[in-house]
Amino acid sequence: MNQHEFIKGTLSTIVLRLLSDKGPMYGYEITREVRQRSGEKILLKEGSLYPALRKMLSDGILYTYTETVENRTRVYYAVTDSGKVREAEQTTALLNFISIVEELLNPPTQSGYA
Amino acid sequence: MNQHEFIKGTLSTIVLRLLSDKGPMYGYEITREVRQRSGEKILLKEGSLYPALRKMLSDGILYTYTETVENRTRVYYAVTDSGKVREAEQTTALLNFISIVEELLNPPTQSGYA
DNA sequence: TTATAATATATAGTTATTCTATGTATGTTT
DNA sequence: AAACATACATAGAATAACTATATATTATAA
């Protein structure tokens, strides 16, 4: 995600939300899904994704299992029970933060117009 | 802004927007205004604000002048012409990014409800 | 009167996160 | 044969925000 640095701090929430929503996914699949769902706007890099996934693993909010399909190993990442709690918390917190930022960006000089 | 790290990447846009909207402000005033406008949710720290302001100065999107009120020096930060252009760009980009994130966070399984 | 809080500035150093660049390996298409 | 897509991953750089600290004045509270 080079095109804007707004992603910082939101990446793990987005990934966690995606895994909660779609079920277990493997890394490469996550990058494609985020790219597709964002209309090619958010291009997740491996150098961002894998460290983020490893942190979530060590935090106990994800776990992994592997499958081999056509000689290619896939490492699936899935949400743990505590991860589900965290997902709800973080999603709510991010949406709250977003609404605050939207208010801050809305020019008060324009409010008052009918 | 310790309570959530979502701020990362958005701080300078918020400050730039605020200065564009309210006119020149001094550092301490900015922290109070952001705190107040955000309903005490975003608590800007000096260690975050002043480095951010200095970066914007060196980028040429802000300039400063000083005033002394009751023996206290105030360093006012104001938006340059190129800063006005940047403000419009960054604000639009942030709002676009926000709408993408909102879409990503919206569970597609829930869409379809009336 | 002394201490604390509010006003006002700012920096040094730490931590955390994302990115660039790179590396491995297989299968498919040109 | 080369390039591209699939699939993993890491090392090191860059950046941004934070904690903690420092200075100084004025106002308030104990």
If you measure CA to CA, which chain B residue comes closest to A39? B100
In a domain, A113, yes or no: no
The gap between B36 CA and D13 C1' (Å) is 37
A77 touches A39 (CB < 8 A)? no
pLDDT for res B71: 87
pLDDT for res B3: 45
Strand order in the sheet with A25-26: A25-26, A72-79, A62-69
Summarize the confidence of residues A98-106 as an average pLDDT.
91
Share of chain B above pLDDT 70, in %: 88
In a domain, B15, yes or no: yes
A98 vs B5, B42, B101: nearest CB? B101
| pLDDT reading at B111 higher than 80 | no
| pLDDT reading at B113 higher than 70 | no
Q: Note the pTM of the prediction, 2 decimals.
A: 0.87
Question: A104 and B9: CB-CB below 8 Å?
Answer: no
In a domain, B112, yes or no: no
The CATH number for B96's domain is 1.10.10.10
Q: Which of B6, B12, B55 is nearest to B34 (CA)?
A: B12
Q: Which of B66, B97, B58 is nearest to A97 (CA)?
A: B97
Q: Which residues of B touch A4 (CB under 8 A)?
A: 9, 93-94, 97
In a domain, A55, yes or no: yes
Question: A91 and B97: CB-CB below 8 Å?
Answer: no
Summarize the confidence of residues B38-64 as an average pLDDT.
94
pLDDT digits (tens, 9 = 90+) for A52-96: 999 999 999 999 999 998 889 999 999 999 999 999 999 999 999
Q: Which residues of A touch B109 (CB under 8 A)?
A: 21
Domain of B30 in residue numbering reads as: 5-103
In a domain, B96, yes or no: yes
How many domains does the structure of chain B reveal? 1
Question: A8 and B5: CB-CB below 8 Å?
Answer: yes
In a domain, B95, yes or no: yes
In a domain, A112, yes or no: no
In a domain, B110, yes or no: no
pLDDT for res A19: 97
